[in-house]
């Protein structure tokens, strides 16, 4: 199964505004880096189609879609629209491509679900907008493309879906869509006491949600323990026909919107484990990530992992030039980026102890009555080297 990469130039030229966390280039950096590495031949690249309102209405309301279209056309919203639909806020501002950009992400997710009627692997780094609700924007997300992808899979006859989300923020919109659905397994590993302040460990969504909030300072060793003790055994036992993996890059040390301490190795190792399960369909999405160097390097490494490309210790000159051309106005880190942000993809590992609260939360989830049958006695081990 040769992986397909969905991308678009719309991400290069649009921004949520000069002061917004999503002012930074992300998908365009991944496309440029992947091409500079020789990892993105034209045969593997697909241009994101823009979803039409009728297609987006698979989950979102027509009133909300129309309000978003009007907001883009008029470049303003009324107080009533702001209150009703969450548009024109600090998090979800009015900007020139505010309908076209999320509709482009939605289009790639909808098409991905259609293409994955047959076994395959698709990477859509512009996806992963997991906070939108049917009639409301939230958390930088206007349309919920993970939900649209999963509903598209269902429309093609793919019933059992495992959704894994390792973004620093809980996937509240996806849980709203699929909580209580016995054919969906939802696993979210996210920072505790962080917006949207949902996904508590005792919130099981009617039985099919495994929510694991983790403390500040969450490290690679702790993620490895969660990967082997919780994520991989649960997905393997659930026996899905498809996996949707939201690999938000905001849980790494350098990201400004979390207080977690992962290296990008942790994300790639989780993906390696998912691939080893042999599930016939895999859709990998982006998500959060607000440091242009860390998100570009991490998501390019996701594409390398999907293709089993070896990640070199030192980048070739063309790839290094892509990273040196990035700018970021965030105070100290943006003005004085460390050299390895330019010359490598792989972070140094960030190991640490498995703290008691992390081990206890894993044990609590595994002991929940609704989780019986998901956890074999022996842990699944993977070679993540």
Domain that holds residue 74: 4-371
Q: Measured in whole angstroms, how far is the alpha carbon of residue 181 from the centre of its chain?
A: 21
Would residue 274 count as lying in a domain? yes
Q: How large is the greatest C-alpha to C-alpha distance in the chain, in angstroms?
A: 59
Would residue 385 count as lying in a domain? no
Would residue 106 count as lying in a domain? yes
Would residue 224 count as lying in a domain? yes
Query: What's the N-to-C CA distance of the chain in angstroms?
Result: 22
Whole-model pTM? 0.96
Helix extents (H) in 179-239: 220-226, 232-238
Report the pLDDT value the prediction gives residue 187, as an integer from 0 to 100: 98
Q: What is the mean pLDDT of each run of 10 residues along the chain (385 residues)?
A: 96 93 97 98 98 98 98 98 98 98 98 98 98 98 98 98 98 98 97 97 94 98 98 97 98 97 98 98 98 98 98 98 92 78 98 98 91 67 49
Would residue 233 count as lying in a domain? yes
Would residue 34 count as lying in a domain? yes
Would residue 286 count as lying in a domain? yes
CATH label of the domain that carries residue 76: 3.40.800.20
Report the pLDDT value the prediction gives residue 370, as an integer from 0 to 100: 76
**How distant, in Å, are the alpha carbons of 111, 150, 175, 241, 283 from that of 237?**
28, 20, 20, 12, 19
* DSSP three-state, residue 252: strand
Would residue 381 count as lying in a domain? no
Report the pLDDT value the prediction gives residue 101, as an integer from 0 to 100: 98
Of 251, 209, 252, whose CA–CA distance to 230 is shortest? Answer: 209
Report the pLDDT value the prediction gives residue 332, as an integer from 0 to 100: 60
Report the pLDDT value the prediction gives residue 377, as an integer from 0 to 100: 56
How many domains, the chain?
A: 1
């Amino acid at each position: 199964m040769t992986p397909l990469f969905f991308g678009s130039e719309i991400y290069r030229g649009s921004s949520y505004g000069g002061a917004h966390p999503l002012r930074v280039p992300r998908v365009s950096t991944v496309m440029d880096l992947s091409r500079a590495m020789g990892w993105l031949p034209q045969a593997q690249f697909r241009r994101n189609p823009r979803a039409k309102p009728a297609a987006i209405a698979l989950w979102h309301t027509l009133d909300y879609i129309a309000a978003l279209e009007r907001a883009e056309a008029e470049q303003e919203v009324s107080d009533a629209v702001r209150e009703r639909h969450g548009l024109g806020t600090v998090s979800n501002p009015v900007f020139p491509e505010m309908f076209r950009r999320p509709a482009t992400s939605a289009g790639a997710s909808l098409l991905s679900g259609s293409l994955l009627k047959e076994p395959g692997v698709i990477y859509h780094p512009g996806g992963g907008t997991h906070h939108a609700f049917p009639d409301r924007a939230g958390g930088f997300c206007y349309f919920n493309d993970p939900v649209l992808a999963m509903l598209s899979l269902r429309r093609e006859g793919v019933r059992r879906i495992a959704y894994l989300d390792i973004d620093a923020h809980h996937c509240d919109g996806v849980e709203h869509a699929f909580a209580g659905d016995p054919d969906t397994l939802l696993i979210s590993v996210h920072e505790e006491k962080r917006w949207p302040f949902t996904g508590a460990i005792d919130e099981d969504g009617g039985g099919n949600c495994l929510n694991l909030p983790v403390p500040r300072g969450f490290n690679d060793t702790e993620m490895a323990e969660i990967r082997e003790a919780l994520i991989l055994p649960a997905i393997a036992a659930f026996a899905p026909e498809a996996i949707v993996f939201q690999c938000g890059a905001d849980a790494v040390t350098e990201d400004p919107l979390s207080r977690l301490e992962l290296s990008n190795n942790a994300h790639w190792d989780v993906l390696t484990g998912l691939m080893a399960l042999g599930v016939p369909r895999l859709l990998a999405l982006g998500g959060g990530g607000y440091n242009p160097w860390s998100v570009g390097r991490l998501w390019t490494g996701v594409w390398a992992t999907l293709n089993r490309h070896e990640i070199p210790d030192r980048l070739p000159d063309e790839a290094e030039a892509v990273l040196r051309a990035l700018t970021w106005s965030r105070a100290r880190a943006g003005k004085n980026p460390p050299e390895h942000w330019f010359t490598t993809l792989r972070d140094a590992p960030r190991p640490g102890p498995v703290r008691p609260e992390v081990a206890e939360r894993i044990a609590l989830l595994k002991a929940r009555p609704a989780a019986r049958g998901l956890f074999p006695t022996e842990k699944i081990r993977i070679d993540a080297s």
